[in-house]
Amino acid sequence: MKRFTFLAIISLFLISGLSAEEENPIKFKIEKSSPTTYLLKVVYPENFGVQKEAPHRILLNAGSGLKVVSADLKLKGKISTRKKEYFESVDPMQLKLEGKGELEIHAKIFYCDYNRNICIPGKILQKEIIQ
């Protein structure tokens, strides 16, 4: 019985850990601005901020039929009024893409939840279809 209880508790922690990872508030949104130019936007809730001086990493993997011609993936934006070391909003980043296909976005963005006063490196894997 003790073994069953122990396994149940461990399972509960693992499941809650996996669901917490899925609840990443940072997302990307791609908008087309011209036939080959797109804007990559970083979207997050109002009570969050993205760290200004952090080793953010954004990698783009183009699937077959799609080519990344150029991408300016440096985070810039409006500085937070709550905490000066964070962005209140991040400016859209310009991408030049050719063709059609799947675009995978792999990223590590460091953000802060102002309500809970914690800062977390968020790992993001997002897939977008470019048409």
Render pLDDT for 29-80 as a digit per residue (tens, 0 to 9). 999 999 999 999 999 998 899 999 999 999 999 999 999 999 999 999 999 9
**Which residues make beta-bridge pairs with 51?**
86
| pLDDT score at 90 | 96
- State how far the alpha carbon of 89 is from the alpha carbons of 6, 10, 69, 84, 94, in Å: 44, 38, 26, 12, 16
The answer, as to whether pTM is greater than 0.75, is: yes
**Which residues make beta-bridge pairs with 38?**
32, 95
| pLDDT score at 23 | 75
| pLDDT score at 67 | 96
Integer Cα distance of 92 and 116 in angstroms = 27
| Domains assigned to the chain | 27-130 (2.60.40)
Strand ranges (E), the chain: 27-32, 37-43, 48-51, 57-62, 66-71, 77-79, 86-90, 93-99, 101-113, 118-130
Segment 72-114, tens digit of pLDDT: 999 999 999 888 999 989 999 999 999 999 999 999 999 999 9
Of 131, 55, 37, 21, the residue nearest 93 (C-alpha): 37
| pLDDT score at 3 | 52
